[in-house]
């Protein structure tokens, strides 16, 4: 299957179908993966594909707008393409999606990987990418789904306990914005926290400011998060950001029967209006 | 014969300092994340921790702090400076982190010194822990320190059977040890570990030669331009300053900032002098390996702690970059391969 990725990449680059193929290569620790941008057929030899290939590479399409690009996408990552096409950020015909089926990915941080899958894989509804131009089947049994066990724990708390839980988490945030930078849905030309005038949020790296950042970040992704889990993976101080995202995912699904990026046709709630929404009481 | 401090003796010494009102800042586990924080009791210290996620710089150069507040009352304005008038012990610094403090001193204590940094620095004693093992990302010996180097520390502790071998490396350290119960005995010191070595020879010159090289664009392709590397780094010292105002009071706040942040380099009129991903990412390495040594006569602004290697979400590896620059430098300087 790795050879299939390499072959496809070589073919696309040799034929000039795309200028660049974005896939994975081995990281410097020898055990995890990192993104590789291949511009020549020779570079395609470096591609790898295994359960440490955690990154959502489709995020890089935002950096290559208008340039013919092929990208390796797992099912979760593939939702990015629908999201960004719906939001008029990328052109579908400039993207060649090399879809790979996914039995789940492990927790992989530089120098260490886990045996077990990432918790978010337990709530992933997909095994096959929702959009692809070429599909590669990765062998491997998928582990059983677990739903959102952590979310259920959180929902069993009282509002006061929940507030304290999140304050505890946000307290150690260092406002590095890795969660934003890695997110395929965070592409505002000027993020609200970077706005100078007016300054919506102060620059202090301190609990009240951190909390405003995280809550607004989460709300801006309501109905838009494609559950790639990158925000949580990259957080240097282990804030469980996917819990917030999953909560909003569940809310939006309950209200609008919509989960973003699953198909190319259904328009997102933010892009539509139905009369019955007027009557929806919350 | 050398001086020995038992584990209990260490905890008692630190608890004694705490009781006197000294702030003890040390590695602590916060929800599984190892961070330097003021501890309420010595027992809270994570003594076995390898490297904290964030460096100890945040004690001397806080993530955010108030430079001053101004209050307007009855037509007159009263200004209050943010000060630290206590005493502190920064505990558990590995030699790389001690070098980090030294490299922060260079810009902040150069005249005119940064008053708030100088105040904290003068009121803080540095107690180091020599390294008994290296992690794969360590490369301190390539940056001019070593796992058992006491340079820039006030007290150096070396873990040995049942406690620590103690060496005072400064007068401040000797004074601090006055309250410690030390034993005199023969303590065999462990052989220090040997980290990997990097080819750092002549790095500023090589960097200058490859400044416009296409290499930067290729590495920057995968960079997501978050602030992680700058914030975990013991020597990155960029900051932003803004005012908070409410009613009759205004507060001037200094906070960490990163050259990777959007708009960091933007200037009046909206011009962005480092618009490309390549230029932006190169800036961080140029500061460490070109501008800093040029501006301050020598040292590279890196300690070999490996924190950025460990925390980068896309494996931008400073060790690999140094190696690549040397390799490309040898093979293509003068070949005219240019970008930007």
3-state helix/strand/coil string of A106-125: EEEECCEEEEEECHHHHHCC
CB-CB neighbours of B334 under 10 Å: 6
Q: Does B262 touch chain A (CB under 8 A)?
A: yes
CB pairs under 8 A between A and B: 119
The percent of residues above 90 in pLDDT, for chain B, comes to 86
Under the banding of pLDDT at 50, 70 and 90, the label for residue A281 is low
The percent of residues above 70 in pLDDT, for chain B, comes to 97
Highest mean pLDDT among A55-59, A240-244, B243-247: A55-59
Q: For chain B, how many helices (H) and strands (E)?
A: 12, 12
State how far the Cα of B127 lies from the Cα of B174, in Å rounded to an integer: 11
Q: What is the pLDDT of residue B337?
A: 46
Q: What is the pLDDT of residue A116?
A: 87
B224: chain A residues, CB-CB within 8 Å? 59, 178, 181-182, 234
Under the banding of pLDDT at 50, 70 and 90, the label for residue A197 is confident
pLDDT at position A143 over 80: no
A188: chain B residues, CB-CB within 8 Å? none
State how far the Cα of B74 lies from the Cα of B309, in Å rounded to an integer: 54
Asked if B303 and B139 count as a contact pair (C-beta separation under 8 A), the reply is: no
What's CA A11's distance to the chain center, in Å? 27
Give the residue from A178, A182, A243 with the most B CB atoms within 10 Å of its CB, the best one to mutate: A178
pLDDT at position A17 over 50: yes
Quote the tokens at residue A232: 């949580």
DSSP 8-state symbol, B187: -
State how far the Cα of A233 lies from the Cα of A212, in Å rounded to an integer: 21
Give the residue from B226, B238, B256 with the most A CB atoms within 10 Å of its CB, the best one to mutate: B226
Q: Do B315 and A237 touch (CB under 8 A)?
A: no
Adjacent-strand bridge partners of B156 = B128, B167
Q: Where are the beta strands (DSSP E) in chain B?
A: 2-6, 23-30, 33-38, 64-73, 76-81, 88-93, 124-129, 155-160, 163-168, 183-185, 239-246, 249-256
Rg of chain A in Å (alpha carbons): 19
pLDDT at position B10 over 90: yes
Distances (CA, A) of B271 to A201, B220, B263, B265, B312: 23, 21, 10, 8, 29
Q: Do A191 and B231 touch (CB under 8 A)?
A: no
In chain A, helix, strand, coil percent, each to 5? 40, 15, 45
State how far the Cα of B97 lies from the Cα of B111, in Å rounded to an integer: 23
Asked if A1 and A139 count as a contact pair (C-beta separation under 8 A), the reply is: yes
Strands B76-81, B88-93: pairing kind: unpaired
Question: pTM of this prediction?
Answer: 0.94
Q: What angle do CA B50, B55, B60 make, to 5 degrees?
A: 140
State how far the Cα of B63 lies from the Cα of B257, in Å rounded to an integer: 9
Distance of residue A281 Cα from the nearest chain B Cα, in angstroms: 38
Quote the tokens at residue B108: 């902040």
Q: What is the pLDDT of residue A198?
A: 84
A164: chain B residues, CB-CB within 8 Å? none
Asked if B42 and B92 count as a contact pair (C-beta separation under 8 A), the reply is: no
Average of per-residue pLDDT across B84-112 = 96
Query: Residue B66's closest chain A neighbor by CA?
Result: A204
Q: Does A42 touch chain B (CB under 8 A)?
A: no
Q: Do B33 and A238 touch (CB under 8 A)?
A: yes
* Angular region, B302: left φ>0, alpha ψ -120 to 50, beta rest: beta
State how far the Cα of A248 lies from the Cα of A218, in Å rounded to an integer: 8
For residue A29, give the nearest of B136, B255, B257 by CB distance: B136
Distances (CA, A) of A269 to A188, A217, A255: 19, 18, 10
Under the banding of pLDDT at 50, 70 and 90, the label for residue B335 is very low
State how far the Cα of A17 lies from the Cα of A14, in Å rounded to an integer: 8
Quote the tokens at residue B284: 């961080």
Quote the tokens at residue A55: 């990154």
- ipTM for the predicted complex comes to 0.94
State how far the Cα of B316 lies from the Cα of B331, in Å rounded to an integer: 22
Average of per-residue pLDDT across B124-148 = 96
Q: What angle do CA B277, B53, A151 make, to 5 degrees?
A: 90
Provide the residue count of chain A. Answer: 282
E strand or H helix that includes residue A220: helix A207-220
Q: Do B262 and A175 touch (CB under 8 A)?
A: no
């Amino acid at each position: 299957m790795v050879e299939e990725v390499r072959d496809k990449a070589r073919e696309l680059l040799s034929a000039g179908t795309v200028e660049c193929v974005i896939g994975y290569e081995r990281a410097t620790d020898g055990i995890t993966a990192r993104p590789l941008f291949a511009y020549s057929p020779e570079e395609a030899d470096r591609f790898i594909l295994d359960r440490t290939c955690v990154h959502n590479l489709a995020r890089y399409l935002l950096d290559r707008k208008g340039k013919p690009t092929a990208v390796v996408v797992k099912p979760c990552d593939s939702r990015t393409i629908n999201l960004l096409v719906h939001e008029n950020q990328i052109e579908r015909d400039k993207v060649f999606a090399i879809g790979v089926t996914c039995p789940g990915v492990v927790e992989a941080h530089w120098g260490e990987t886990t045996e077990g899958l990432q918790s978010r894989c337990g709530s992933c509804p997909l095994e096959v990418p929702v959009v692809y131009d070429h599909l590669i089947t990765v062998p491997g049994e998928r582990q059983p789904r677990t739903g959102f066990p952590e979310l259920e724990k959180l929902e069993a708390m009282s509002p006061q306990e929940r507030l304290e839980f999140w304050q505890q988490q946000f307290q150690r945030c260092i406002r590095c914005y890795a969660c934003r930078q890695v997110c395929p849905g965070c592409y505002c030309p000027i993020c609200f926290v970077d706005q100078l005038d007016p300054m919506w949020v102060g620059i202090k790296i301190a609990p009240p400011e951190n909390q405003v950042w995280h809550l607004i970040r989460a709300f801006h992704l309501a109905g838009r998060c494609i559950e790639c889990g990158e925000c949580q993976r990259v957080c240097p101080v282990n804030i469980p950001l996917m819990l917030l995202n999953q909560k909003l995912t569940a809310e939006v699904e309950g209200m609008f029967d919509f989960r973003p990026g699953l198909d190319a046709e259904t328009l997102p709630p933010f892009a539509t209006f139905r009369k019955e929404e007027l009557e929806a009481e919350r | 014969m050398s001086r020995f401090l038992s584990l209990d003796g260490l905890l008692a010494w630190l608890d004694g300092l705490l009781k006197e009102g000294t702030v003890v800042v040390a590695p602590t586990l916060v929800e599984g994340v190892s961070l330097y924080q003021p501890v309420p009791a010595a027992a809270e210290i994570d003594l076995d921790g390898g490297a904290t996620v964030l460096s100890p710089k945040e004690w001397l150069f806080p993530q955010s702090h108030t430079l001053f507040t101004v209050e307007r009352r009855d037509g007159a304005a009263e200004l209050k400076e943010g000060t630290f008038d206590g005493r502190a012990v920064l505990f558990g610094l590995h030699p790389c982190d001690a070098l980090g403090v030294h490299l922060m001193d260079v810009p902040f204590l150069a005249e005119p010194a940064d008053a708030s940094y100088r105040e904290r620095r003068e009121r803080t004693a540095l107690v180091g822990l020599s390294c008994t093992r290296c992690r794969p990302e360590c490369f301190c010996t390539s940056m001019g320190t070593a796992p058992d180097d006491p340079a820039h520390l006030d007290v150096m502790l070396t873990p040995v059977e049942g406690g620590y071998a103690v060496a005072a490396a400064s007068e401040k350290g000797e004074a601090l040890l006055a309250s410690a119960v030390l034993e005199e005995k023969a303590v065999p010191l462990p052989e220090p570990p040997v980290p990997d070595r990097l080819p750092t020879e002549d790095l500023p010159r090589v960097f200058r030669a490859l400044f416009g090289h296409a290499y930067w664009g290729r590495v920057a392709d995968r960079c997501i331009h978050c602030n992680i590397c700058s914030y975990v780094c013991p020597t990155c010292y960029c900051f932003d300053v803004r005012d908070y105002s409410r009613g009759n009071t205004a507060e001037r706040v200094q906070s960490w900032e990163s050259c990777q942040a959007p708009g960091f380099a933007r200037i009046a009129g909206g011009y962005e002098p480092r618009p490309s991903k390549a230029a932006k990412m190169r800036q961080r390495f140029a500061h460490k390996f070109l501008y800093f040594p040029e501006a301050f006569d020598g040292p590279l602004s890196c300690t070999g702690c490996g924190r950025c290697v460990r925390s980068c979400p896309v494996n931008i590896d400073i060790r690999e970059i140094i190696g690549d620059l040397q390799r490309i430098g040898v093979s293509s300087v003068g070949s005219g391969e240019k970008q930007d």
